[in-house]
Chain A
Amino acid sequence: MTARHPRTPAPLLVIGQRFLTQLLIGQRPRRTGSLWPSFHSRWPRWKWVSFLFILPRRRRSPRPQSGMKVRPVLSDPEKQRGRSAAVAIAALVIAAGIPLWWKTTETYRAWLPAARIGELEALQLELRVEVEVVFARGTLSPEQQKKVPASRMREQTYESCCKSKSLCLVEADHALHTLTETSCGSVVIYIIPEASALLPQDMRVYVGRSRTALLRSQVASVVGAGLPEVLAALDPQMEQVLQTMSFNHQDVTAALTDRLRPGLSTRDSLADSMRAFKSSPGYEITFSLLNPDPKHHQLHWDVEAALDAYIYPLLHKMAPVANFSVDSQILYYAVLGVNPRYDASASAYTLSADSLAHVINPVEARLGSNAASSNPVLNFLLYVPDSLHSPLIIRNDQKQEVASNAFHSPRWGGIMVYNVDGAYGNDTQFPVDIAIDMSRVMGVFLSQLRLMLGFQQTGAPPGFVLEAAGREGVAEWELDRLLWSRSVENVATASASITSLAQLLDQIANIVINDNIAQQVASAVTALQAAVAELEAGNLALALEHSREAISASERAFFDPSLLHLLYFPDDQKFAIYIPLFLPMCVPILLSLLKIFREVQQHRAEKRAKRD
């Protein structure tokens, strides 16, 4: 057993701490050899246990008298060494430790373009439509013709084969369409003379399937009237045409509903905006055939051919707007949740308009959806009533039969009831093979699909005739209308996302902003600015593309899984973590520094006293 300093104690738990404090205070145990006090002390092993119960220790040396503090007497070099050790440790902690701790506990926040995001808050949208006005022969007097600045003065005659007015119009429209190359978003207005027989008397404007409109000029060519007057007189009518064909105030406010305060949109536009889906990168369309009675009806529907012929042209035209995925299914033994009532006068079962609202919910539980994508789903259901409840007709509020026998629900889809009781008599052998007339069905579904996708049916002003789209599904100016409102909506939504994301990241100072988020935000801001520039320039197709890019990047940045503020410590919890780590270390350092400081002060006071 080596000699032990009387003051260094036996208990295991305080060895290290006592050693450290003694070192700092300036008292270093002197011994030869080992660094730590030896375990083999004067007490036998079994008595070590008593220290666990914190019993008072038995002292060998006599207890000093109370009131007198016993301090070890140190020589000056020892004191000096102790002081320099304390100062060195304090210097190390402050100079190296604190910066190291600061650097290693920093959160990584990639740089965000805050200035450009700030600009987005006060975004001004300018929409420009390219309009080409073509005066037909006979609308302008020769003097006015000379002043027309347009470089293209085409002499074009077309034979009017007037067998029937409507066919004429269509042919004329088609002929005119082949003349000019219209880019996406532009409008061409042909002014035809008042006396022209092309348009019937009550019709002022005819809007064709492509981007052309025929406007009957109501300005008599007054001799002496200059070109500006003629144009000024035509202005209100042209504006009406443009509002029908491109966009009007209601459309734009409806598209901007996110960023505008409520109450600004009218009832009609509210209904339209509720009906159509919001802009989304993709949509899923599901066509379902519901056969509640497979024992009697064996249904065949050639849905693939019908989709190819009728639906895919429309979806192909809508490709710049969104991606579509189409699937179809047949559900057996699926019943409507409502019992139809038998109406003897019509000898048919009827569903009244009020009960339609309760039809959808029981059916929806049976419809599946693609588990992997989060895109909105449009459901189109074809219901063939069972033989007991055939025929089934839908009655509207005025108790009249509905011609289409179909109804739709905003943002959900549509249901059509297809009666097959006419295809067989009473004594046929069941089950009966029935082929469904897909053109009739698809006619209904196509019109419902158009409504769901946003081609609203706003009423045309009086005197206007809008050519129906027919088999192509959608007219080009209708598509342009949708593209205008979609671009505006995308721009508004993307800028709202970016600004609110920037606000969130500002508020919570210790969220980590990864590089990918910063990159998405930067690309979203760039695409937004490009989209706004293209809208100002009037390039609708490019503007839509940029706005789609902007919205997808901003959505990805906003909904990134790492931006959950819960994952990061609030500031008050940080104190709870750091205090048990740093306090035991800092207290001896601070105390020793204080002691040194006091000794230096004392020394200086003594020196001054000596001098005096």
Chain B
Amino acid sequence: MPNIIAVVCASYGLAQSVCDGEDLPARAERFFRSDHTNNWAVLVCTSRFWFNYRHVANTLSVYRSVKRLGIPDSHIVLMLADDMACNHRNPKPATVFSHKNMELNVYGDDVEVDYRGYEVTVENFLRVLTGRLPPSTPRSKRLLSDDHSNILIYLTGHGGNGFLKFQDSEEISNVELADAFEQMWQKRRYNELLFIIDTCQGASMYERFYSPNLMALASSQVGEDSLSHQPDLAIGVHLMDRYTFYLLEFLEDIHPASQANMNDLFKVCPKSQCVSTPGHRTDLFQRDPGSVLITDFFGSVRKVEITMETINLTVPGIPLERFGGEPHTETALAYVDQLPVAQIIHQKPKQKDWHPPDGFILGLWTLILLVFFRTYGIKHLKHIF
């Protein structure tokens, strides 16, 4: 006879009526409907500058929803340029609004941005996904997922056919992204992965995926542009993109115990509202999308088991032995070092490799030398060298 009764309906609203009449196999079935034990989210906004306000608002709104549905900050990797709230052009400093008339401030007091400013690069993004971070990276900047983690990845910014632009200076291609996901699969760094992208021609980014258990949604097809939703006349920029706006409206109705599934998510923002045609890709996903709950990715519903067995440690008469041996005196308590301080302080400065001067400098010096010798004649060469 098993000592532990395997578990528990995750649904709350239906619980009272359903769970009374149900038997153990059906409940066990629901336990095994999705075999994930924790949830992670990687939310990336790839733009900077004031006129890309809407991308930051997009990402922060998804961040708020994901937090509301239960994923803690320690399991969210948020990458933002973070130059909106304290921008000189922001008429309401320390706020980022997602709805016109300044109804909802998504920046809030407790936003935790893990990669900010110039740290949002393609290299860091790929390092986070594949786990190849330098050993000094703190825990909050790592994606510590395991083989039973469901990961939500949300990208927004400016994109094109097969690429996504990062901070106006570099781009990530769909091939690189697909390779990164394959690296994650090789190490079983995810159980299932939901990829949402809200950029122009977003569907091109998931064309090249080839690893199992991936589901992808995009806001527009190849050749279409994703459009922004509404400007706020007081702030002066567009506040949100259409797809994310309607996605958020949909998510507002989701609570941690809701039973909405992925088919509802695919219907978000039809062409009449979005102007572009959202697309999705489920051929690599092993389960039927109709049986995948929204909270499998956006929320964090824990599987819970009642502890039926305990160990009886209260044996009378036997005194508590100290394992360590001698009793230790009251020592003053101190905080644990969170970083290897001694190592950091005594580090030598890193030797920078010498590089020969590059083309522009070389050309400039050649020009200067040529002018000099042309002016004053080649006979002065002997004075220089």
Contacts and interface: CB of A to CB of B under 8 A. Distances in A.
A354 B12 contact: yes
Interface in A356-374: 356-358, 360-361, 364-365, 369-374
Interface in B10-29: 10-12, 15, 19, 27-28
Contact of A354 (B8, B126, B312): B8
B320 A305 contact: yes
A365 B131 contact: no
Contacts of B71: 361
B133 A561 contact: yes
Interface in A38-60: 38-39
A358 B31 contact: no
A447 to B, nearest CB: 5
A256 B323 CA distance: 36
Contacts of A146: none
B123 A564 contact: yes
A: contact size bracket: 35 or more
Given A313-B323, A411-B38, A406 B307 contact: yes
Interface stretch (A91-99, A287-295, A396-404): A396-404
A35 B373 CA distance: 10
Contact of B313 (A271, A412, A446, A500): A446
A154 interface: no
A36 B373 contact: yes
Interface stretch (B56-64, B201-209, B335-343): B335-343
Contacts of A258: 147, 188
Contact of A443 (B5, B312, B323, B339): B312
A444 interface: yes
B302 A357 contact: yes
Given A370-B336, A563-B132, A355 B307 contact: no
Nearest to B74: A369
Contacts of B28: 267
B37 A410 contact: yes
B311 interface: yes
Nearest to B137: A374
Contacts, number: 222
Contact of B302 (A270, A310, A352, A409): A409
Contact of B147 (A278, A504, A566): A278
Interface stretch (A163-171, A205-213, A384-392, A467-475): A467-475
Interface stretch (B101-109, B138-146, B192-200, B238-246): B138-146
Interface in A16-44: 16, 34-36, 38-39
Contacts of B321: 309
Contacts of B140: 371
Contacts of B301: 357-358
A78 interface: no
A305 B3 CA distance: 29
B280 to A, nearest CB: 23
Given A271-B6, A397-B5, A457-B2, A500 B37 contact: no
A369 B74 CA distance: 9
Contact of B127 (A327, A437, A564): A564
Interface of B: 1-12, 15, 19, 27-28, 31-32, 35, 37-38, 70-74, 122-123, 126-127, 130-134, 138-140, 142, 144, 146-148, 176, 179, 183, 186-188, 256-257, 286, 300-315, 320-324, 336-340, 370-371, 373-375, 377-379
11 contacts: A12-B374, A262-B286, A352-B15, A353-B304, A357-B304, A397-B5, A407-B305, A416-B307, A451-B4, A471-B313, A504-B183
Interface of A: 12, 15-16, 34-36, 38-39, 257-258, 262, 267, 270-271, 274-275, 278, 305, 308-310, 312-313, 316, 327, 352-358, 360-361, 364-365, 369-374, 376, 394, 396-397, 402-404, 406-412, 414, 416, 437, 439-440, 442-444, 446-448, 451, 457, 459, 468-471, 473, 496-497, 500, 504, 558-561, 563-567
